[in-house]
């Protein structure tokens, strides 16, 4: 569900245009909030010992659908099918690779800690990918606060 939440954030920030079918729905504050709530619920559920593996068929299907939508939303208009296909392939491959990495890390750090780290990586990278203005504005604000970033008169 994270792709839907980050796409909704990017659309509200006007980082990407709302020109895909159903994409304009993400501009509705209620639907955007629901996408964020579903992503948060998925992240919370992932910490439970009863959570199914991300590689079960229904989980792969949902990941594929949300990834296809996000990939198409981020691709140029004439490359949306390709963007969606690449996103689906990436989602499936990362599901298996991520599960293996998570199981390895859980042996040392436990389910909850590894889940929080994984969520931070997924959500943070998603926000950066679809909201490049967040990074640019952060860099601009930091450069005005740093004394060595100002021009010297020497």
pLDDT in tens, the chain (154 residues): 888 888 888 888 777 777 776 677 788 888 888 888 988 888 888 788 788 888 999 999 999 999 998 888 888 889 999 999 999 999 999 999 999 999 999 999 998 889 889 888 988 888 888 877 776 666 666 555 555 445 544 4
Give CA–CA dist 13/27, Å, rounded. 10
Indicate the pTM of the whole model: 0.74
The angle, 0 to 180 degrees and rounded to 10, between the axes of the packed helices 132-145 and 111-130 is: 90
Q: Which are the contacts of 80, defined by CB distance < 8 A and separation ≥ 6?
A: 20, 71, 72
- Position 136 scores a pLDDT of 65
Give one word for 110, left, alpha or beta, with left for phi > 0 and alpha for psi -120 to 50. left
């Amino acid at each position: 569900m994270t792709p839907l939440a980050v796409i909704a954030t990017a659309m509200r920030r006007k980082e990407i245009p709302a020109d895909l079918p159903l994409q304009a729905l993400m501009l509705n504050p209620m639907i955007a909030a629901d996408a964020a709530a579903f992503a948060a619920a998925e992240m919370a559920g992932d910490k439970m010992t009863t959570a199914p593996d991300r590689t079960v068929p229904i989980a792969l299907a949902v990941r594929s659908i949300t990834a296809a939508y996000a990939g198409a939303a981020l691709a140029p208009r004439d490359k949306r099918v390709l963007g969606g296909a690449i996103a689906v392939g990436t989602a499936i491959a990362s599901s298996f690779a991520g599960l293996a990495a998570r199981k390895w890390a859980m042996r040392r750090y436990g389910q909850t800690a590894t889940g929080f780290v994984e969520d931070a990586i997924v959500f943070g990278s998603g926000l950066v990918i679809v909201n490049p203005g967040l990074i640019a504005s952060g860099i601009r604000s930091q450069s005005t606060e740093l004394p060595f970033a100002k021009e010297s008169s020497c």
